[in-house]
Amino acid sequence: MKNVLITGASRGIGRAIALKMAEDSSRLFLNSLHGGERLEEVAAEIVKLRTEKGIAGSVNTIACDVGDPAAVREMFRTIESLVDEREGKPGIDILINNAGISHIGLSQDTDDETWNRIMAVNLSALHYCSREAIPHMLAAGEGRILNISSVWGNVGASCEVAYSASKGGVNAFTKALAKELAPSHIAVNAIACGCIDTDMNRHFDEAERKELCEEIPAGRFALPEEVAGLAAAICSQSTYLTGQIITFDGGWT
Ligand SMILES: NC(=O)c1ccc[n+]([C@@H]2O[C@H](COP(=O)([O-])OP(=O)(O)OC[C@H]3O[C@@H](n4cnc5c(N)ncnc54)[C@H](OP(=O)(O)O)[C@@H]3O)[C@@H](O)[C@H]2O)c1
């Protein structure tokens, strides 16, 4: 049974990925910044779904700021303590780096604190989580890391310079780490999302949303469940699929 960690699993894309991954038996570890009721509700939904469908596995929740290296280290020690060694090796087999934050504003108005926070959560967190997960993957002889990126990492967005730079970093991180880990049968890929209907886009009013939909050839935002379907498909492929930034944007960019 595989051990799967999904960061930012309390809402939006991370929550949808957690529910999708629950369709196969696994030990699921769900992270979010605040933990609490929201994250527990996702875990409860998974238990219910698995009970109804007779799918084996477990689910644990861990609140942790993935932008804080010490907190990430502690999260991985907690995960190891939760896996019964008689049942399987403690460590993560599939790491889904999904947690992220956005910021809209002019570049010259972006203060150091905001810039550093975006870089920590959107980019450095991938390094903190991956370096904890890799030793177990190497020992297991296989592993998968999937990063949730953005089309702004490919093409850049006005008034989202810090966010775009962080996601551009995610794309380069993905390609470089994939090369480093391919000889060890560990696949590293990313999904560059376009407009997905989550809290991250709630700031758009009705008129802005309509305008955006008119720009997107598919004519709509995607649902988080659609990203989740792709994420699960990527994680079930041969590890020969690696180093890819898969754009999922309805033909937008
Ligand atoms: N929505 C889009 O259109 C879109 C487009 C391109 C890329 N993406 C990317 O997709 C990913 C998920 O976005 P979303 O739209 O699902 O966002 P969302 O609905 O705002 O959810 C964000 C998730 O990340 C968690 N999180 C935030 N900061 C964290 C931290 N420091 N440590 C741990 N968890 C943290 C949140 O936890 P709490 O609930 O505890 O706050 C929440 O679970 C992000 O990387 C985002 O950049 C989204």
Q: Does the pLDDT of residue 170 top 90, yes or no?
A: yes
Choose among 102, 67, 170: nearest CA to 75: 67
Pairing of strands 26-32, 57-63: parallel
Report which DSSP code applies to 34. S
Give residue 249's pLDDT band: very low, low, confident or very high (50, 70, 90): very high
Q: What tokens appear for 24 in the block?
A: 């196969």
- Torsion angle (degrees, nearest 10) of CA 129, 131, 137, 141: 150
Query: What are the structural domains, with CATH classification, of the chain?
Result: 2-248 (3.40.50.720)
pLDDT at 124: 99
- The mean pLDDT of the chain is 97
Give the residues surrounding ligand 1 with Cβ less than 6 Å away.
Answer: 7-14, 31-34, 38, 65-67, 98-101, 121, 148, 150, 193, 195-196, 198-201
SS3 37: helix
Q: Which residue shows structure tokens 């932008």?
A: 67
Residue 234 contacts residue 246 (beta carbons within 8 Å): yes
Tokens of 251: 């033909």
Q: Is the pLDDT confidence value at 102 over 90? A: yes
Do 173 and 127 meet the contact criterion of CB atoms below 8 Å apart?
Answer: yes
Q: How far apart are CA 17 and CA 228, in angstroms?
A: 4
What distance in angstroms lies between residue 162's CA and the mean position of ligand 1's atoms? 15
Pick from 6, 13, 208 the residue to mutate for probing ligand 1's pocket: most ligand atoms within 8 Å of its CB. Answer: 13
- pLDDT tens column, 142-159: 999 999 999 999 999 999
Tens-digit pLDDT profile for residues 54-75: 999 999 999 999 999 999 999 9
Mean pLDDT value across residues 4-29: 98
Mean pLDDT of 224-231: 98
54 CA distance to ligand 1 middle (Å): 30
Please report the pLDDT score of residue 83 as a whole number. 81
Return the closest-CA partner of residue 177 out of 238, 95, 253: 95
CA–centroid distance, 40 to ligand 1, in Å, is 17
Q: Active site includes 128?
A: no
Residue-wise DSSP of 81-136: HHS-TTTS-SS-SEEEE-------S-GGG--HHHHHHHHIIIIIHHHHHHHHHHHH
How remote is the CA of residue 86 from the centroid of ligand 1, in Å?
Answer: 34
Report percent pLDDT > 70 for the chain.
98
* Active-site residue, from 29, 128, 163, 221: 163
| Ligand 1 atom at minimum distance from 97 CA | 45
Atom of ligand 1 nearest to the CA of 102: 47
Across the range 107-136, mean pLDDT stands at 98
Residue 152 CA: nearest ligand 1 atom is 6
Q: Residue range 6-22: average pLDDT?
A: 98
The structure's pTM equals 0.98
Chain segment 76-93, per-residue pLDDT in tens: 999 999 987 666 668 999
